[in-house]
Structure 1
Amino acid sequence: MRAPLTLALLAALAGVAPLASAVEIDGRIDPAEWEGAQRITDFRLTQPLSRAPAPQPTEALVLATPQGLAIGFRNTQPASIPRTRQFAQRDKGGPMDRVNLYVDFDGDGRIGYNFTVLLSNSIIDTTITNENQFNDDWDGDWRHATSEDEQGWYAEILIPWHIAPMRTGADGQRTLGISLDRVIGATGERASWPAVGYTESRFLTAFERMQVPAYSQALLAITPYASGVYDAVGKGSDFDGGVDLFWKPNGRFQLSATVNPDFGQVESDELTVNFSATETFFSDKRPFFTENQGFFDVPFGSLNNNSRLIYTRRVGGQNDDGVGSGDVTAAIKVNGSAGGFNYGVFAANEADEVGRDFYAVRATRDFATQGVGAMVTRVERPFLDREANVYEFDHRWNPTSQWAIRSTVVASDVDEAGRSARDSGAQVRIDYDMGNRWRQQLYLLHLGRDLQLNDFGYLERNNFNYARYDLARRVTDLPADSIYAGHDWHYAISRRYNDQGVHIADAGAINRRSELRDGGNEFVEVAAWSAGHDDLITRGNGIVDVPSKLFLYYERFRPRQNGGPWTLYGEAQYAAEGLGGMREGKSRLYFEPSYHVNDRLSFFSGMEISHNPDWLLWRGGNLLGSYRADMIVLNAGSIWLIDDKQELRVRLEAIGLDATARQAYRVGTDGRALRSADTLQDFGLRNLGFQVRYRYELAPLSYLYIAYVRGGSLFEEGLDRQGSAGREFSDAFDLRDSEQLLVKLSYRFEI
């Protein structure tokens, strides 16, 4: 473990007062303001992950002040390396020159925050959990500024102490975890201190430890909102209002509350087509539900970042009677620390007789190389006469700098209409850095047959056992004339079966993620599944024998070159996953060019075309249908960042899908899909989503929105239907199920 660096001691040795004065955040690093700051110059390459000294000098200044944690960057960048000054929407990054501050305010490696400042002074802020899982739903109130000259560019950041809950320090000191990095957009090179990349299995726990004075700030913020909607289709208007409250009297306690939280359509979900047995995951941008939610983010059930024990979109989601969405009356969240424990309490209430009540309590305790946590959630659903309780315990252990072990045990106890169901699940992830650019990961997962987490959480499926071994190798010693700067190779094998012993599939995959010297990236993967069984597609009406499967995928992104106007992104995919075997797979192409008129105005147009000769769908009971399907998807729009306060966004999505019936199948008792004389109907689907949104930032986290929204969806089925994907796509632009004008005003008052 690294020895803590004491800023106060360094300041004393330098002959300055340990209590630093305020730093003016103007992007110009004044030596007098930064006197006594710790200076960091040992930045090393982590993209590509060679850990070699950074080719371009970078100096960072770290200074704890009563107003907050101040960070300054001096980034040397000669004229021979182009600077990318492109402006970006909040939380929308890309291949731009930027700097990152990563900070763990408790220094325990459990929750971190990432603050990014682009050369254009645009920003990104995210939370970090589970070592390296980033979530940009959260927005914080912090200060930032940039400037530049012939030698390079400069950034100043100030993070107020009230931005997150923090444990009480000891002897007037607080231990932080800190990491810093700088990215050059034109080359894609990332230089970090300490020399740890965010893609490594240990990131959050590898931050450098620093001791700073245990400053504390109190804050009371009240954010009322009002919104009005005019519906041009329904010929009606609706007005609504509510308030969010944030109170932090000290570092040990933080309360967030909301009354009638906002559900305005200023952040629209992407259009999707999903006929599968698993639910589509959507992120949550509602301010109350993102504030300090990282403490409750317990990933469980898969290696991706979606499966979790609390999925806040459940609150206010579809009503239990299937009509409309839940009306959230109020919700409250408390985060704090006491007696060496961190704790959190969450409660939300929905109105009306179909409303639900959501509750969660979580506590954690951390030690030198280990940490434990536990959580209990409860959902009461009177309309269904259902009560669902989930109990969770997690443990993390870093015995050495090479090992990282994470384990979680979960149990559910559900009572519905007098019938009870109880079951459990567990997962463990073991990461081992072997050195010499090799590393391994073993992931084991068990989900019981009756484990039920989706009253409050998000779990793709239960009744599942999964084992996966991954061997990875980094390659960074490439020739100077190579178009690639580095590769990250992964070789994985896995096995899947359910609790009844049904073998789902074995699989093997090889993939390579590459950084290119043009600042872009590339990803390629080849994967194959053995013959096995599908136990989900019939929704409990039989298990289907399925043949072996083949997956091929390629992705490439190329940023703007030498100040040129074009950004290019493309994907190509082949997925053989029906009953026809590897020769009848889905082919999919997606291409999205973006044209930048200047650094503030850009247009993009993404087009997807796919063809699936053997699309296998459930048609009820044990009936399956194979379809020949074609789909066209458009994702286009423009972004105009008028100035630092104003933004105009146009977004258009359209989908056209045509499916022609090929063959009906009945699932036999032995699992074979038997050809059937059942009649299948062709069908078509069209979707439209269009939004023009203007946003004006009145003050930090205070906005005026004016949005025009139009959309619709149409599903048609019938043997006499004459259609094509092109016709469905063109007809989608005539859809007008809804057409609304929305005005929303929110203003944050700080007391």
Structure 2
Amino acid sequence: MIRSTSLICTLLLSAAAVAAPQPIEIPFIEQAAIIDGKIDEPIWQSAQEILIDNVTWPHENIASPVSTKALVYENGEALFIAFIAKDPTPKEIRAHYRDRDKIWNDDLVGLKIDSLNTSQNAYQFFINPLGVQLDSIENELTKNENSSWNGIWSSKGEITPDGYRVEVKIPLRVLNFNDSQGTKQMAMEFLRFLPRDERLRISNMQLDHNNSCWICQMPAVSGFASAKQSNNLTITPALAIAHTQTRDIDDAVVPDFESDTDYEPGLDVKWAVTPDTTLNLTVNPDFSQVEADTGQLSVNNSFSLFFPEKRAFFLENSDYFSSHLNLVHTRNVSAPDYGIKATSSKQGHTFAGFIANDDSTHVLVPGNLGSSIVSLEQKSENAALRYRYDANDQLSIGTTGTIRQSEDYRNQVLSIDSKYRPTKHDTIKLQAITTDTQYDQHFIDEVCDDDPIESCEIDESVLRVQNHGDQQGLGYYASYEHNRKHWRAFGSYRNYDAALRADLGFISQVDFNKFVTGFEYRWYGDESNWWNRANWYSDWDISHNEDGELLEKEVQSNFKVQGPLQSIIQVGFDHRKRTGQRHDETLLEIDGNTDMFTENFQWMYLEMKPRAGVFAGLRLNTGNKLDIANNRLGQRYIVKPTLNFNLGRHFEVKLRHTYERLEHDGENVYTANLSDARFTYQFGINSYVRLALINLDIERNQHKYIDDVDSRYKKLSTQLLYAYKLNPETVLFVGYSDSGYQDDDLSDITKDNKTFFAKFSYAWLR
């Protein structure tokens, strides 16, 4: 285990109060360094030297066991950093050639930049010893990190006999900053991550673990007197080609494939209209997914699955749309012809808005016991607006508005939210939502699969869209948290009435109110312990519908300890009383129309990273679980192993499997297996080839089901992809994907879709 070389220094640092960070002066030097990882130019001798010598995690402010320094300067157009990272055992350095943003488990150096110095957002730039990049945006409002954000910047790394060196150039055009005359002030933290037996976070500053806001503690830097954000313009033309073969294999005789070839030119434009305002325009974009989504199992689930956004146009400054609730989830816009987005941030005022159409309309219809998707074969218009005012580090107030509409449907949302930190220990969050939704008869017919309403199979989604007299919805959310170094206590309450709809966001449950309260206690290990951190967490919650009928009551608790080999051991239990499905689906009532079931299950999670390029995880779950399809209690078993490993620096294997089995009265109800395997050979920093295989296999005991079901369902999806990325916007993708399935009418897996695709885009920077 890596330990401090000086026990006396460690004890003194741990006992001392966290010192206030001292301001850092960033010198101006006109000459631009050559980014080659050598750090041999005389220019670096005039740069500001910053020591990265304080371990801030998992320990609190102890001396670093390794030597690291950063050399920093700016020339008005870019920020230049050279990292010199010493290592007494260079053979243990963890570094692999990976695709961008896939290097979190490697050795890393980098920095965080709060370029507006508002303590609300921070750009993160990290680099492994081979020069592979990872960047993201940390959002203090939501406590999330958006790793899908990609800036265009340069880096080069080189492993040396005594460690490694990295050179970095970050053009100021990728940052939002105050464009006023004279010296400017930002906040920055310089970091090194050292993953060995522990994963040490080493910083140039001290971090107060008694303060949950880390961005607020970053030291100020001054300089950039001549820095200007001119009208930066990025023009990215693109061409996407797809040759698709499809067929309907539900027929008794499987037909031949029908082919279609589609050529789609597109254009993306990014323009800094003013130093504080950016305009994004996309015309005829290719919004298809280049990389297959991770497989998810939904064999005993009544609510819709969530998939993250991956598309560049929507990801640009997507954190500007964030609030406490997910009101803007752009994967709802599936196939637009155009999109326009404007974002701005200046002196605490943040604005964001976009407009995009969609060739089709997919609407999530939520309820309190389940949700479903309705698809309309008609175009829709989509728009979102977001404004936030950050009065200071303690208070933020924002408002969000969205609209989705087509010929047969409209949804409007207006929300106001705030976050207040009266002290560094206390956080209060509030949000209120009002919505207006109109469904016409065609929309209702689509819910019923075009059957007449009198012969429609009634379920909750049909009842929710038929309630014409209840178009205006209201919801609100409130939470309070008190967070200390060793413990935190929290409580929250949310209430969504039956008519609430946020169709451009992701709210899959309505007609409920939920109260949650909980407590967490943390332990910190020292030099004498085999573990470095441990925590116990517990919460209790209760949910009712708006008529006051009980939906669910739950208590859960878990204990986690982190130890050698970067290991995690976590065990927990859940005790839950919940309603089953409705006996009479034509009624929304709960009392007298459902049964109450008691679920008790236990779980364990194990994880370790024993050596470079190896990750192993295992999740186990067993106990009583509601069999939703048959409205009874069963015994469920879940096993989820994960194994990722590298063969050398270039070849990576990622294996994930989910085994789920449900039994009732000792007989099998279903057995489901989901396998996700991905094999990647990374030729260098810029290119790779990847094979992805996702296999689903579900066996059902038809005698244990109320409704008719297939006794066997199999699905296999494959994708072979070659990618070359000069930068995040200048890319070449060439690939092939197919999928097929088997049910009781087919003797084996039969392909119903094959696609050959290519995409090329080139970013012109002006």
TM range (shorter): 0.7 to 0.9
Whole-Å Cα distance in 2 between the matches of residues 373 and 506 of structure 1? 32
Counterpart of 2:112, as a letter, is Y
Q: Deviations over 1:549-584 (max 9, x none)?
A: 1232222233252x5x75423221225221699994
2:643 is the counterpart of 1:593: yes
Other-structure match for 2:717:
689
How many angstroms apart in 2 are the aligned matches of 1:197 and 1:164? Answer: 27
Does the Cα contact within 8 Å between 1:95 and 1:519 map onto a contact in 2? no
Deviations 1:526-562 (A, max 9, x none): 222245566899696553223221232222233252x
Using the TM superposition, name which of 529-538 and 542-551 deviates more. Answer: 529-538
Residues 497-550 of structure 1 deviation map (CA, whole Å, 9 limit, x = unaligned): 222212223322222344332134343332222455668996965532232212
Deviations 1:80-105 (A, max 9, x none): 87111222221223421112422222
**Which residue of 2 is the match for residue 440 of structure 1?**
489
Q: Point out where structure 2 has 5 or more consecutive residues left out of the alignment.
A: 1-17, 246-256, 361-376, 441-467
- C-alpha change, 1:583 and 1:273, in structure 2 (3 Å) is closer
- Asked if 1:220 is matched to 2:241, the reply is no
Distance 1:229 1:36, change over 3 A: same
Q: Paired residue for 1:578?
A: 626
User: Are the counterparts in 2 of residues 613 and 627 from structure 1 also a CA contact under 8 Å?
Assistant: yes
* 1:748 paired residue number: 763
Cα distance between partner residues in 1 of 2:204 and 2:477: 32
What does residue range 563-642 of structure 1 map to in structure 2 within 5 Å? 567-578=615-626, 584-614=634-664, 628-642=669-683
- Kindly indicate whether residue 353 of structure 2 is the aligned counterpart of residue 345 of structure 1: yes
Report the secondary structure of 1:184's partner residue.
strand
Asked if 1:403 is matched to 2:426, the reply is yes
Change (3 A) 1:688 1:51: same
**TM-score of the superposed pair, with normalisation by structure 1:** 0.83
Check conservation: 1:703, 1:745, Cα contact below 8 A. yes
Give the alignment partner of residue 739 of structure 2, picking from 679, 700, 711.
711
Give the counterpart letter for 2:740 in structure 1: G
1:30 CA displacement: 5.0
Aligned residues: 684
Are 2:324 and 2:429, in contact at CA under 8 Å, matched by a contact in 1? no
The answer (yes or no) to whether the contact 2:380–2:406 under 8 Å persists in 1 is: yes
Partner SS for 2:92: coil
C-alpha deviations, 1:176-218, integer Å up to 9, x for none?
Answer: 2323332112232222344449998423334333333252233
What's the CA shift string for 1:129-152, capped at 9, x where partnerless? Answer: 235211222221112222232332
The structure-2 alpha-carbon separation of the partners of 1:25 and 1:524, relative to structure 1 and needing over 3 Å to count, comes to farther
Contact 1:547 1:581 in 2 (8 A): no
Q: Of 386, 391, 407, which residue of structure 2 is paired with 1:367? A: 391
3-state SS, counterpart of residue 120 of structure 1: coil
Counterpart among 551, 562, 570 of residue 601 in structure 2: 551
Query: CA, structure 1 residues 166+481, in 2 after alignment: closer, same or farther (shift >3 Å)?
Result: closer
Call closer, same or farther: CA 1:540–1:343 in 2, change over 3 Å. Answer: farther
- Counterpart of 1:431 in structure 2 is 481
Bigger mean CA offset, 570-579 vs 243-252:
570-579
**Structure 1 partner of 2:370:** none
Partner of 2:332 in structure 1?
314
User: Quick check: 1:239 aligned with 2:263?
Assistant: yes
Kindly report which structure 2 residues correspond to 1:141-540, keeping only aligned pairs within 5 A, or say none: 141-169=152-180, 172-187=182-197, 188-196=199-207, 201-213=212-224, 215-218=227-230, 219-232=232-245, 233-274=257-298, 276-300=301-325, 308-316=326-334, 327-337=335-345, 341-351=349-359, 354-384=378-408, 386-417=409-440, 421-435=471-485, 437-453=486-502, 455-477=503-525, 480=528, 482=530, 484-530=531-577
- Residues 369, 338 of structure 1: CA spacing in aligned structure 2 closer, same or farther, 3 A cutoff? closer
d(CA) in 2 for partners of 1:213, 1:627: 68
Distance in 1 between residues matched to 2:80 and 2:517, nearest whole Å: 42
Matched, 1:650 2:691: yes
> Are 1:282 and 1:313, in contact at CA under 8 Å, matched by a contact in 2?
yes
Asked if the contact 2:512–2:545 (Cα under 8 Å) also holds between the matched residues in 1, the reply is yes
1:179–1:207 CA contact under 8 A, matched in 2: yes
What per-residue deviation string (whole Å, max 9, x for no partner) do you get for residues 115-136 of structure 1?
2211222222222223521122
CA contact (8 A) 1:372 1:393 kept: no
Moved more, 267-276 or 701-710: 267-276
- 5 Å-filtered alignment, 1:117-132, equals 117-129=127-139, 130-132=141-143
CA contact (8 A) 1:648 1:693 kept: yes
Name which of structure 1's ranges 76-85 and 253-262 shifts more when overlaid on structure 2. Answer: 76-85
Distance 2:55 2:584 in 1: 46
Normalised to the residue count of structure 2, the TM-score between the two structures is: 0.82
Does the Cα contact within 8 Å between 2:72 and 2:81 map onto a contact in 1? yes
Distance apart, 1:334 and its partner CA: 0.7
Question: CA 1:366 to 1:38, structure 2 compared with 1: closer, same or farther past 3 Å?
Answer: farther
CA distance 1:116–1:515, change in 2 (3 Å): farther
Separation in 2 of the partners of 1:261 and 1:652? 27
Q: Which moved more, 1:397-406 or 1:171-180?
A: 171-180
Which piece of structure 1 moves more, 225-234 or 328-337?
A: 225-234
Amino acid across the alignment from 2:690: R
Q: Which amino acid aligns with 1:707?
A: G
Contact 1:407 1:427 in 2 (8 A): yes
Q: Which residue of 1 aligns with 2:461?
A: none
2:52–2:202 CA contact under 8 A, matched in 1: no
Whichever residue aligns with residue 228 of structure 2, its letter is S
**Equivalent pairs: percent with the same residue?**
19
Cα 1:611–1:2 change in 2 (3 A) is same
Q: Deviations over 1:679-722 (max 9, x none)?
A: 644543222110110112245521111101011244548xxx9x
The 1:359/1:337 distance shift into structure 2, 3 A limit, reads same
Q: Is the 8 A contact 2:130 2:156 kept in 1?
A: no
The residue type equivalent to 2:330 in the other structure is T
| Aligned counterpart, 2:462 | none
- Report what 1:674 is aligned to: none
- Deviations along 1:632-658, whole A, 9 cap, x unmatched? 222113110012222010110100001
Distance of aligned partners of 1:419 and 1:330 in 2 relative to their CA distance in 1, 3 Å threshold: farther
- How far apart are the structure 2 equivalents of 1:143 and 1:639? 24
Mapped pair 1:739 → 2:754: yes
Q: CA deviation at 1:457?
A: 0.6
Contact map agreement 2:279 2:342 (CA 8 A) in 1: yes
Alpha-carbon separation, structure 2, partners of 1:199 and 1:553? 30
The match for 1:659 is 700
CA distance in 1, matches of 2:623, 2:554: 14
